[in-house]
Amino acid sequence: MKNLPIGIQNFEKLREDDQLYVDKTQTLFKLIRSGSYYFLSRPRRFGKSLLVSTLAALFAGKKELFQGLWIEEQYDWEQKFPIVQLSFSNLGVKEIGLVAAIRRELDRIAASHGISLTHESIALSFQELLRQLSKENKVVLLIDEYDKPIIDYIDDLPQVDANRQTLRNFYSIIKDADKYLQFVLITGVSKFSRVSIFSDLNNLNDITLDPNYGTLLGYTQEELEFYFADRIDGLVSQQGITKEALLTDIREWYNGYSWLGRERVYNPFSILNFFSKGVFQNFWFSTGTPTFLIKILREGWHYSLDELDVGSTQLDFFDIEEPDYRSLLFQTGYLTIKEQPTYNIYSLGYPNKEVKDSMLQYLIGAFSFRDRGDAAPTVLKMKKALDKADIDLFVSILNSLFASIPEKIFRQRNEAAYHAIVYTTLSLLGYYIEAEVASGEGYVDAVVKTSDRIYVMEFKVGKTAEVAIAQIREKGYAEKYHHDGREVHLLGINFGKENKGVQDWLEEKL
């Protein structure tokens, strides 16, 4: 059984250490035979750096690293190209600045080929490097995490503008360097700076949403069951469950990402960590704190994220000065495409349980102005209160979430505050007991089911609990549960307009 390459992004190291590699070389072969200039956007921890490293080894003609892989007998290993590989995730930009970091990396690459660069400008030095290297053969240019100098300063717009201008000037030479170049791939997390940075590079083929390459990164179901077969069998034996049950759980937790490929894919970082530890946890989400994202969501009181429609233009581009939260959530991996687009409209939603569970905890913390670490314990207390039919305790816990909202914000966004906290809290409750929360008009606000009881809930703001109960009865919201066999409770809750929290509540048992 091969070791799992957790955190290994270097293809050469992975292969030399006999680590597990999910063979993507057939798709890579199609990529390099179909064109020369590519752009690919994927979320963090999805294998972009490993992809770039694999291409570098391929174009360098390192056949020994590809032994046993699909491409071994297909590629012309006599072809060897000089490689310029730039990764903006490890250039030391924050330590010495963007210009100095690029200069240092260009000098390092040049020195490794016995070249001395003479220009002071990094753009002209870049051009000089490509021209000199092309004397050996045409150059393969691989740029990983091109947007890192933008993302890392996303809260500092003056620095973003400065870095964007530097990158624009640096990349501007690529188009006119066509005679020196054999192949170009540029990767990044997002596209919110693509147009302004690559405005002169209009020959890039953006394969982000190309169905031919939708499974280039991430693991398909077939790949999961083939490459991790021994580990799947081991967990089945260890946990005493069926293989089908285990695969269903793995799929619900970590599958679900779509970039319009033939099927949905798993997050590779989460899968590797799951099989390493053998327990279901939030692996991918915990590696990055979406502070900027949460700030945007709270400022706009965007809390219902599971059924969002967005046009293709918005999905394809993110303006850093006026961010659209939907495109940002998609590009950074917190939302994915749920259905094939209709009339260039995409339906977005959470990809899986890992992301939804984690995001809901962040959102509860954001909208209640509390630490996100309080969310899960608070919701678990709610479950216990409903299990015991202790509505006083349930209401008390709900009130505690409103207590920390600053008074000014509460008065400005009264109803939005209530809706955001109730929706996110009860949605998270759905991971402990069955809970359905309405996000549109004409439906009961919430239905929560325990082993013994069904709660049909209606919420009002600035009215009365009696009005809420009356609506449940008039609309017949509880009728379909009459023959369920469990006790059916109608719960009307009225929130105050002037004072934070529950003003009054009323419970009726059918």
pLDDT block averages, 10 residues each, the chain of length 510: 94 96 98 94 95 98 97 95 95 94 97 94 96 96 94 89 92 91 94 61 87 96 98 96 97 96 94 97 86 90 91 77 87 92 91 95 93 88 96 95 91 89 94 83 86 95 96 93 93 92 94
CATH number of the structural domain spanning residue 17: 3.40.50
**Of the residues 162, 196, 213, which one is the last residue of a structural domain?**
213
Q: What residues have CB less than 8 Å from 360, skipping those under 6 apart? A: 375, 424, 427, 428
Are 85 and 148 contained in the same domain? yes
- Domain-embedded: residue 360: no
Are 70 and 198 contained in the same domain? yes
Reported as a single tens digit per residue, the pLDDT across 364-374 is 999 999 887 88
- Domain-embedded: residue 358: no
Are 316 and 457 contained in the same domain? no
**DSSP bridge partners of 140:** 83, 183
Are 380 and 263 contained in the same domain? no
**DSSP bridge partners of 141:** 84, 184
- Domain-embedded: residue 438: yes
What local confidence, expressed as pLDDT, does residue 436 receive?
A: 86
Give residue for tokens 């250490």. Answer: 17
Q: Which two three-digit tokens encode residue 467?
A: 């009005």
- Domain-embedded: residue 230: yes
Give residue for tokens 């967990």. Answer: 235
DSSP string, 159-220: HHHHHHHHHHHHHTHHHHTGGGEEEEEEEES--TTHHHHSTT-TT-EE-TT-GGGTTSSSB-
Q: Which two three-digit tokens encode residue 92?
A: 């030391």
- Cα 319 to Cα 310: distance, rounded to the nearest angstrom: 15
What local confidence, expressed as pLDDT, does residue 204 receive?
A: 87
**DSSP bridge partners of 85:** 142
- Cα 296 to Cα 289: distance, rounded to the nearest angstrom: 14
- Cα 455 to Cα 284: distance, rounded to the nearest angstrom: 34
Provide the residue count of the chain: 510
- Domain-embedded: residue 6: no
CA-CA-CA-CA torsion sign (153, 159, 160, 162): negative
Q: Which helix (H) or strand (E) holds 491?
A: strand 487-495
What local confidence, expressed as pLDDT, does residue 499 receive?
A: 86
- Domain-embedded: residue 406: yes
Are 208 and 239 contained in the same domain? no
> What is the rounded (10 degree) CA torsion for 409, 414, 419, 420?
0
- Structural domain including 447 reads 368-509
**Of the residues 185, 213, 241, which one is the last residue of a structural domain?**
213
Are 127 and 55 contained in the same domain? yes
Q: Give φ, ψ of 190 to 5 degrees.
A: -135, 175
Are 203 and 229 contained in the same domain? no
Quote the pTM value: 0.92
Domain count across the chain: 4
Reported as a single tens digit per residue, the pLDDT across 151-199 is 888 888 899 999 999 998 999 899 889 999 999 999 998 875 444 677 6
What local confidence, expressed as pLDDT, does residue 439 receive?
A: 67
CATH number of the structural domain spanning residue 424: 3.40.1350
Q: Identify whether the C-beta of residue 386 lies closer than 8 Å to the C-beta of residue 397.
A: no
Are 27 and 129 contained in the same domain? yes
- Cα 120 to Cα 165: distance, rounded to the nearest angstrom: 17
From residue 102, how far is each of 109, 141, 154 by CA, in Å? 11, 15, 20
Give the strand order in the sheet containing 336-337.
Answer: 308-311, 345-349, 336-337
Alpha helix (H) residue ranges in 369-486: 375-387, 391-403, 407-412, 414-429, 465-475
Q: Are strands 181-188 and 139-144 parallel, antiparallel or unpaired?
A: parallel
- Cα 505 to Cα 510: distance, rounded to the nearest angstrom: 17
- Cα 497 to Cα 414: distance, rounded to the nearest angstrom: 7
- Domain-embedded: residue 362: no
Query: 105-111: long-range contacts (C-beta < 8 A, 24 or more apart)?
Result: 109/84, 109/85
Are 388 and 262 contained in the same domain? no
- Domain-embedded: residue 48: yes
Q: Give φ, ψ of 41 to 5 degrees.
A: -110, 130
Nearest C-alpha neighbor of 471 from the set 449, 490, 453: 490
Q: Identify whether the C-beta of residue 125 lies closer than 8 Å to the C-beta of residue 84.
A: no
Q: Which two three-digit tokens encode residue 413?
A: 């966004």
Alpha helix (H) residue ranges in 38-97: 48-59, 93-96
**DSSP bridge partners of 460:** 494
Are 262 and 382 contained in the same domain? no
**Of the residues 251, 286, 321, which one is the last residue of a structural domain?**
286
Are 154 and 182 contained in the same domain? yes
**DSSP bridge partners of 123:** none
Are 207 and 335 contained in the same domain? no
- Cα 46 to Cα 42: distance, rounded to the nearest angstrom: 7
